[in-house]
Structure 1
Amino acid sequence: MIDTEATDLPELPGDWRRALAVVAHPDDLEYGCAAAVARWTDEGKEVVYLLVSRGEAGIDTLDPEVCAPLREREQRASAAVVGVDTVEFLDHRDGVIEYGTALRRDIAAAIRRHRPELVVTLNHRDGWGDGPGAPRNTPDHVAVGRATLDAAADAGNRWIFPELAERGLAPWDGVRRVAVAASSTPTHAVDAGPGLERAVESLLCHRAYIEALTDREPEEYAREFVTATTSRAADRFGGRPAVTFEVFPR
């Protein structure tokens, strides 16, 4: 039985229609967050994916020229499983994505183009958790997360990147929240139950990547990972599986 009194993570507000999810690599959204995306698209919300790289450095046994189109195909198939039709790639180099004005400009351009009220990204901090023993985050995730938080403001300021307006991308100050997935200090959650099976299937679409990553059966690996990820905060969300976010209001 769900104990609705045993929750201290409120539901992420659903008072929005469009979201833009910005991450560094193919598969970043599939390690848990896709369950929230499936629920949102079920509710009729529009979600667009923006991948800063094509993940070409992610499989050691494949040359980047071969890997990039493979991982792009896997990402598009993965997105379709959870109701996402639009997937865009920025072509920054996988593994050496740099935080800076070029990255902020590219993300701000996408925000102006798609005009989301909610922007989603991945953990931008140096580690996956608190304390000196926490696993290190990757530079790509840190750069993209930080740039996304900044670009949400850049997109609304006509005097930052004025060249975007010259390209027909008028300022968009309609971003109300940036939601950071996989944060060690979450403030909100989304019920992962309705989208859990599709989240597993979505991760499974990255089969080439998973097979290079582990010797385990891909189906077993995907189900165990997604289930474990969405179970971690259940005791803070009324016993329900959850995708958690640290929310930065705008």
Structure 2
Amino acid sequence: MSDQRLEEMPTDWQRALAVVAHPDDLEYGCAAAVAAWTDAGKQVGYVLATRGEAGIDSLAPADCAEVREAEQRESAAVVGVTTVEFLGHRDGVIEYGLALRRDIAAAIRRHRPELVITLNHRDTWGPSPGGFWNTPDHRAVGRATLDAAADAGNRWIFPELFDADLRPWNGVRWVAVAGSTTPTHAVDARPGLDRAVRSLLAHRTYLEELTDRPAEEYVRDFLAETTAHAAPRFDGRPAVAFEIFPRPHP
């Protein structure tokens, strides 16, 4: 990983849209940043490709989906997010392609964000060589979100959206990828860290399945370690790091 200093995230925007695959993806990655943004009066909406129905082995998918959707809405509210949408793709078998790009482009047209946030779209997590293999859902949604940011602004791509009165939106100025192994920017995690902990703790049913450790201990340790990782490149401040892909702004 580069030792170059991480830049401050842009702040000259008002609306952001976070697009990820599953409930809890944002809480494991960037809820502290979201809390800081909503504190500053910015609007942040969440779009989840799935309802996370394949995420808990002890629950049948239909029951799991209800639990995880409710927990995601509670989790989002902790960091000041009231708009949470689910696109209805099947958990675990999301396919990158036109249907996914269309759904995300439609969400971008509905919400008209200047900043779009997604999760690591690359094959692996962590430094290379080595690291961990990323899931197909994360790869598909992250990649489709990067593409849909451009699709949303072109009336001739998915013209059926225009016919449905979803007019093109070419106002996305940046796509920010959380969990990237090559981050470029960061947000100070300290003001929002306690709320990030509570936000992840809202996924209580998932956490009970995931770990035998006390949930709060596990969550605090995980988020402290994650945000500390960026500190040496951000003036010693624990941070949520992002890789920024700027887009031309009309």
Q: 2:72 aligns to what?
A: 75
Shift of residue 130 of structure 1?
Answer: 3.4
Amino acid at match of 2:196: A
Amino acid at match of 1:168: D
Task: Give CA deviations for 1:21-57 in whole Å, capped at 9, x if unaligned.
Answer: 0000000000130000000000000000000000000
1:105 & 1:163 partners in 2: Cα distance? 10
Q: 1:207 aligns to what?
A: 204
Amino acid at match of 2:116: V
Instruction: Show the 5 A alignment for 1:127-166.
Output: 127-166=124-163
Amino acid at match of 2:146: L
1:133 & 1:127 partners in 2: Cα distance? 8
User: Of 239, 243, 247, which residue of structure 1 is paired with 2:244?
Assistant: 247
Taking structure 1 as the reference length, the TM-score comes to 0.97
Q: 1:169 aligns to what?
A: 166
Amino acid at match of 1:74: E
User: Of 214, 217, 221, which residue of structure 1 is paired with 2:218?
Assistant: 221
Q: 2:90 aligns to what?
A: 93
Shift of residue 163 of structure 1?
Answer: 0.3
CA RMSD of aligned residues (A): 1.0
Taking structure 2 as the reference length, the TM-score comes to 0.97
**Contact conserved, 1:7 with 1:238, CA < 8 A, in 2?**
no
Shift of residue 134 of structure 1?
Answer: 1.2
Shift of residue 7 of structure 1?
Answer: 7.2
**Where does structure 1 lack aligned partners over 5 or more consecutive residues?**
1-5
SS in 1 for 2:26: helix
Tell me which stretches of 4 or more aligned residues in structure 1 moved more than 6 Å: none
**Where does structure 2 lack aligned partners over 5 or more consecutive residues?**
none
SS in 2 for 1:158: coil
Task: Give CA deviations for 1:184-232 in whole Å, capped at 9, x if unaligned.
Answer: 0000001111000000000000000000001011111111111111110
User: Of 13, 35, 38, which residue of structure 1 is paired with 2:35?
Assistant: 38
Amino acid at match of 2:200: L
Shift of residue 122 of structure 1?
Answer: 0.1
Task: Give CA deviations for 1:120-159 in whole Å, capped at 9, x if unaligned.
Answer: 0000000002324210000000000000000000000010
Q: 1:3 aligns to what?
A: none
Amino acid at match of 2:6: L
1:208 & 1:232 partners in 2: Cα distance? 27
Kindly tell me the number of residue pairs found equivalent between the two proteins.
245
Task: Give CA deviations for 1:80-123 in whole Å, capped at 9, x if unaligned.
Answer: 00000000000100000000000000000000000000000000
1:63 & 1:44 partners in 2: Cα distance? 39
